[in-house]
């Protein structure tokens, strides 16, 4: 299980981890199929290395820490597998064995 580094709120499950090969501002980031106990921010356009996406920032529901973002829509068909997925920065979460 992965939890918020700040307040240990459970955020995502190990079996929902899809990829560790993402890069965010703070460094490595993970892609998850689902996330829990998060609050979505406003939708915004974001130009990433792989193209233009519509994304929402995601925040911890307990402490409000910005954890990463959720892909809402991809504007390129070959990136559409990312839609609905969550990108969470490794530096913001803790791996826990519970």
Question: Rounded to the nearest whole angstrom, what is the least distance from the CB of residue 60 to Zn ion in the complex?
Answer: 3
Question: Rounded to the nearest whole angstrom, what is the least distance from the CB of residue 70 to Zn ion in the complex?
Answer: 16
* Residues binding Zn ion (CB under 5 A): 4, 6-7, 9, 60, 62-63, 65
Q: What is the 3-state secondary structure (H, E, C) of the chain?
A: CEEECCCCCEEECHHHEEEEEEEECCEEEEEECCCCCEEEEEEEEEEECCEEEEEEEEEECCCCCEEEEEEEEECCHHHHHHCCCEEEEHHHEEECCC
Question: Rounded to the nearest whole angstrom, what is the least distance from the CB of residue 7 to Zn ion in the complex?
Answer: 3
Would you say 67 or 74 has its CB closer to Zn ion?
A: 67
Would you say 37 or 54 has its CB closer to Zn ion?
A: 37
């Amino acid at each position: 299980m992965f939890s918020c580094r700040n307040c240990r709120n459970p955020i995502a499950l190990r079996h929902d981890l899809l990829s560790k090969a993402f890069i965010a501002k703070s460094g490595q980031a993970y892609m998850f199929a689902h996330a829990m106990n998060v609050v979505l921010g406003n939708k915004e356009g974001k130009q990433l290395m792989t193209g233009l996406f519509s994304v929402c920032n995601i925040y911890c529901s307990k402490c409000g820490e910005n954890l990463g973002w959720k892909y809402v829509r991809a504007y390129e068909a070959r990136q559409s597998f990312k839609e609905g997925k969550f990108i969470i920065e490794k530096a913001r979460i803790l791996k826990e064995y519970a």
